[in-house]
Amino acid sequence: MSKLVVKDLVKIFGKDPKKALDLTKQGLSKNEIFEKTSQTVGVLNANFEVEAGEIFVIMGLSGSGKSTLLRLINRLIEPTSGKVYIDGEDVTAADREKLREIRRRKLGMVFQRFALFPHRSVLDNAAFGLEIQGVEEKERHESAYKALELVGLKGWEHSDVSQLSGGMQQRVGLARALASDPDILLMDEAFSALDPLIRKDMQDELLDIQSKMNKTIIFVTHDLDEALRIGDRIALMKDGEVVQIGNPEQILTNPANDYVERFVEDVDMSKVLTAEGIMKNPDVVVTTKDGPRYALRLMREKGLSSIFVTSRDRKLKGIVTADCCVDAVVNGYNDINRLIVPDVPKVSPDTHLQDIIPLLADSKYPVAVVNEEDKLLGVIVRGALLAGMIKKGGDEDGAA
């Protein structure tokens, strides 16, 4: 069962939402509905499911309805129609009492402008959620200390929040959301108000915390780089509608429509694509039992100037060049092992392109993609890398 299910969720801002709702069913656009009824469609027919432990990013430009969608989940904004289920429980049908209970136990929220309470210390801010639940002071302070330590604010517990920098304030915001140990974190443009360097730190921090706590995170942002960096999956919104849902590579390499394509065309592909996405299958390799003569023939056939050598269980041994092989054949050596250059550039499958480029630039050999056991999974040559950069995904062309 999915942790969070959003089904046909609609929000219309206005006095007669029923009328606008009927119009949306006739397929009218947000603008047409506004002209006819002066009501604004905030979110239109949002449908998605989020698994436990997933970071689900809702991305869109301002006015696309992404923050509204987030607030519909915990009903800070009441949905016009549709359903939200958390752990199979219908949030939209909950009465006030039940809703409060869900907000207290299952949902933590982090805000764009931090929304810290200026009349409370850092510690009492972090303990707010538990205080609301009526937890004893000693116990809630204990949890708050732990949460603050987790976000790297140990030693600041008794400071005023106004003394902290923006990045630190948002850490308090994060600690406040984590202190009551909710299953789901709702993060509304949580890092957008921070300057770029701090933002990157916070993203790392969040990923780090996520690897320890394994929460389900719904993260709203307008920043595509941020979405690609932290999102397991991304939902792209436009005019209140979700136009595409997919993992970062799917969104980039296979945009659902022109809008998504325009959105992603400026993305620095080297930060998104991974070695796994652009590598070629290592079908052209020799093993240590093959001789230099065979290696040479293979290279000539494929038009290569060097070739990887593996053991029989496909563990990478190194590379041999055509020149060495010619030498060996002329001089009558038959043992390929003596020709192997063991020192070749190696990367893991999830290495980003931006880290592979310098390796390729510094080395005259292709880059080998290996798993933890050193097994050769793929090969990256310059051509494949370029192809990847121009968004072909490195599927077809690009042999060396």
Partner 1 sequence: MVLPKIPIGDTVAWLVDVADKYFGWFFDFITDVINFLVGNFTDLLIGMPPVLFIAIIALIAWRLAGIKVAIGSALGLLLIWNMEMWKPAMETISLVVIATIISLIISIPLGIMTARSDMVHRVVMPVLDFMQTMPPFVYLVPAVILFAIGSVPGLIATVVFAMPPAIRLTGLGIRQVPKDLVEAAEAFGATEGQKLLKVQLPLAMPTIMAGVNQCILLALSMVVIAAMVGVGGLGGMVLRGIQRLDVGMGFEAGLSIVIIAIILDRFTQKIGGKRKTTT
Give me the residues that bind partner 1 (CB under 8 A), please: 74, 76, 100-104, 107-109, 111-113, 115-119, 128-129, 131-133, 160, 176, 180, 186
Contact 150/209 with Cβ under 8 angstroms?
A: yes
Contact 383/347 with Cβ under 8 angstroms?
A: no
Rounded least distance, CB 316 to partner 1, Å: 51
Rounded least distance, CB 82 to partner 1, Å: 20
Among residues 164 and 368, whose Cβ is nearest to partner 1?
Answer: 164
Among residues 30 and 141, whose Cβ is nearest to partner 1?
Answer: 141
Task: Round to whole Å and give the CA distance between 277 and 20.
Answer: 44
Rounded least distance, CB 113 to partner 1, Å: 6
Among residues 119 and 364, whose Cβ is nearest to partner 1?
Answer: 119
Rounded least distance, CB 95 to partner 1, Å: 13
- Pair of tokens at residue 181: 């140990």
Rounded least distance, CB 141 to partner 1, Å: 16
Contacts of 355 (CB under 8 A, 6+ apart): 347
Q: By CB neighbour count within 10 A (0-12 exposed, 13-18 middle, 19+ buried), where does 372 fall? A: exposed
First to last CA, the chain: 47
Q: What are the strands, taking DSSP E only, across 72-195?
A: 81-86, 89-90, 107-110, 184-188
- Pair of tokens at residue 224: 């595509």
Task: Round to whole Å and give the CA distance between 129 and 104.
Answer: 7
Among residues 158 and 364, whose Cβ is nearest to partner 1?
Answer: 158
Contact 234/246 with Cβ under 8 angstroms?
A: yes
Among residues 84 and 234, whose Cβ is nearest to partner 1?
Answer: 84
Among residues 96 and 138, whose Cβ is nearest to partner 1?
Answer: 96
Rounded least distance, CB 46 to partner 1, Å: 19
Rounded least distance, CB 129 to partner 1, Å: 4
- Pair of tokens at residue 94: 């909950």
Among residues 106 and 199, whose Cβ is nearest to partner 1?
Answer: 106
Among residues 108 and 366, whose Cβ is nearest to partner 1?
Answer: 108
The H or E element spanning position 307 is strand 306-310
Rounded least distance, CB 318 to partner 1, Å: 57
Among residues 98 and 289, whose Cβ is nearest to partner 1?
Answer: 98
Contact 110/187 with Cβ under 8 angstroms?
A: yes
Rounded least distance, CB 84 to partner 1, Å: 15
Among residues 25 and 98, whose Cβ is nearest to partner 1?
Answer: 98
Among residues 179 and 235, whose Cβ is nearest to partner 1?
Answer: 179
376-380 vs 367-370, strand pairing mode: antiparallel
Q: What are the strands, taking DSSP E only, across 212-289?
A: 216-221, 233-238, 241-246, 286-287
Task: Round to whole Å and give the CA distance between 286 and 308.
Answer: 7
Residue type, 98: K
Rounded least distance, CB 105 to partner 1, Å: 8
Contact 400/305 with Cβ under 8 angstroms?
A: yes
Contact 130/121 with Cβ under 8 angstroms?
A: no
Rounded least distance, CB 10 to partner 1, Å: 21
Contacts of 146 (CB under 8 A, 6+ apart): 179
Task: Round to whole Å and give the CA distance between 362 and 301.
Answer: 26
Residue type, 9: L
